Structure formats: structure tokens, C-alpha cells
Amino acid sequence: MEKRFLGKTGLEISVIGFGGIPIQRVDKEAAVDLIEELNKQGINFIDTARGYTISEELIGCGLEKAGRHNFILATKSMVRDYQGMKNDIEISLKNLRTEYIDLYQLHNVRTEDEYNKVIGEDGALRALKEAKDKGKIKHIGITSHDLNILEKGIESGCFETIQFPYNPVERQAEELFKRANSLGLGVIVMKPLAGGAITNAELSLRFILENPHVGVAIPGMDSIEQIRKNARVGNEYRKLNDRERETILAEAKELGTEFCRRCGYCAPCPQGIDIPNQFLMEGYYTRYSLKDWAKERYAGFNNKASDCIECGQCETRCPYDLPIRKMLKKVANILG
């Protein structure tokens, strides 16, 4: 398996990692089989989160069987305060059946207010630093769908890794990755298949790995077949030829007519709707088949797609000319 160093962390990781969202759909026995298959295929990086329902617990069962020492383990938490993060770190350690976690990340920091809270005196970052000093975690990272937040994180000196969506249709972070790499931060690519929207997984992964600033891509997988297919990209790594590049870029262009890159330029919505997150939940529902989980998270939004009054202000700001009003109607029809 092709390996790269995750920035200055010193962690040598497989270029294909394991995204822990879809494992929620399988039972304990199947989860153990999946983790064992990762080891067989040379995939040594696993990324999960407290918010992925039973993902940590299932992965923990698999690690116990396949050998914790064979893997570099990352998880993350949505809590923003000091005590909440202290509690979540302990829960993660218990769930994952491990004495330490290689990388613990602040999960999906979305706004400047959230960012300022997590780095503040009573913020989650303080708890992560304390846990690192005690050896409970080895490295600290941050994830977001907002370029501005990660730009702050990169320049702060507080973090060792970043995680952001990247694929042939979502390329807005290329300069961000370059800057992160120059400062020694590791780059983790989430949504390498655009949340399941890209059908040609192999070409998408190979496209991503051509970027020298990327450390690892973490497609979500819930079957042995998916693991073997995706692992083959790293085990038999080769660059795209002209025909393959033309094929994947053509698919990206087609998706671009109704695909949100979560750049955030559509904000602010007069109705207070977080537009990119509406599309994110719809993607989890329709493409990841995480219907109950997506509906539960969507129900927690204060302002939903159904609150759209079709003023159209968002569409005038969208750099990709997306039919946002039409897309929000679709979300409302699916999620309520």
C-alpha cells in the first residue's frame, strides 16, 4: 500500500483510509470482518467520530480482534467546551477499546463563534491539549466544511491536521491544502466520492491522490468488496491517463449543475437557513442510506429547507449558479 506521512505528525499512513460513517449500518460481526479486511489490504488509517452513533463501538470491537497496533486511529467530537471534550475523550477511549488515540479532531467547526469558543480558555482545545500531555491522544486536528475556519486553524499553530471535502467536483480547497502542507500540517480528505454522488470511485480516488499535498483520502465503506476495490487504488497506485482524466472531469462537470460545494457564499439567508447543511443531510439520506441518522440531525436544525421563502438572494451569490431554491424544495420533500 502506498503510504505518506501525515504532515509533521510523523504518522506514516496508507493513502486510502477508512471513513467510519457507513459502518453504523452493519452488525458487530460484520464490523469485525471489515476491520480485519482493512489490515489484510494494508489500510492502516481509520477515521470515525463521536457523532456517528455506534461507529466507535463497532470499530473498537474490530480493533480488538484485528490488533490495535496495526492501525492509526482518528476520531473527533462536536462538543465545544472544555468539560464536554474531556468527557468525550474518555468515552472515545472506552468505545474504541484503546489506551490512546492517535489523532483527536474538533469536528465540523462551522462558525467564527464556534471557533473562538473551542480555542478559548474554557474551550475544547484546552481539554485536547491536556489529554495530549497525559498521552491519551497523540495529535490534535480540526475538521470543517468552511474554508475560512480552516484558514484560521492553519495559521493558528494549534493544530497538526486538517480535514476538508475534496474530489473532482469539490476543488475549492486546493490552495488551502498547499498552504497547510507548507506549514507541516497533515491533510485528510473527506467526501472523496462527493458523498456518494461520484459513481467512478477509482478514478476519483486516483485524481485526489495526484495532489501531492494530500495525505490520505477516507472513503466510507461498509462491505468487504468496497474495501478491496478502494484499497486497490493504493496497492496498485498509478496516475490517471488522458482518457481517464477526461472521463472523471466530465462526470464532475455534470454533477456541477446541482451539487453544493459548501463554499458558504450563499450566506446569509434572510430566513436563517444554513443552506449547505441542508444539502449535506439530504446527501446522507439519499446516497449514504443513513436515513434515520440524517432525519434526526435535520430535525435538530432551528431553520430548515421548508422555511425557504424563495427570495432568491442565495442564488445571486452562488459562484456555481446552482438552482438553490429548487434544491431546497427537494430537501424539504425528502426530510420534511
Listed in order, strand segments (DSSP E) in 109-185 are 137-143, 161-165
Among candidate residues 176, 177, 92, the one with its CA nearest the CA of residue 131: 92
- Determine which one of 52, 284, 285, 288 is catalytic: 52
Quick: pLDDT tens for 109-152. 988 999 999 999 999 999 999 999 999 999 999 999 889 999 99
Specify the pTM.
0.86
Whether 30 shows a pLDDT value over 80: the answer reads yes
pLDDT band at 320 (very low <50, low <70, confident <90, very high): confident
Among candidate residues 92, 85, 129, the one with its CA nearest the CA of residue 109: 85
Whether 82 shows a pLDDT value over 90: the answer reads yes
CATH 3.30.1360.200 at 3-243, yes or no: no
Q: What are the domain boundaries of the chain?
A: 3-243, 275-335
The Cα angle at residue 119 between residues 48 and 154, in degrees rounded to 5: 70
pLDDT band at 84 (very low <50, low <70, confident <90, very high): very high
Which residues are paired to 14 by β-bridges?
3
Mean pLDDT of 29-47: 98
User: Residue 254 is placed in which grid cell?
Assistant: 455534470
The predicted structure's pLDDT at residue 196: 82
284 assigned to active site: no
Of 44-48, 180-184, 283-287, give the lowest mean pLDDT range.
283-287
How far CA 272 is from CA of 107, 265, 269, in Å, comes to 22, 14, 5
The predicted structure's pLDDT at residue 289: 78
Task: Reduce the DSSP state of residue 210 to 3 states and report it.
Answer: coil
The cell 436544525 sits on which residue?
301
The predicted structure's pLDDT at residue 154: 97
Quick: pLDDT tens for 283-311. 889 887 789 999 999 999 999 999 999 99
The predicted structure's pLDDT at residue 206: 98
Mean pLDDT of 307-328: 93
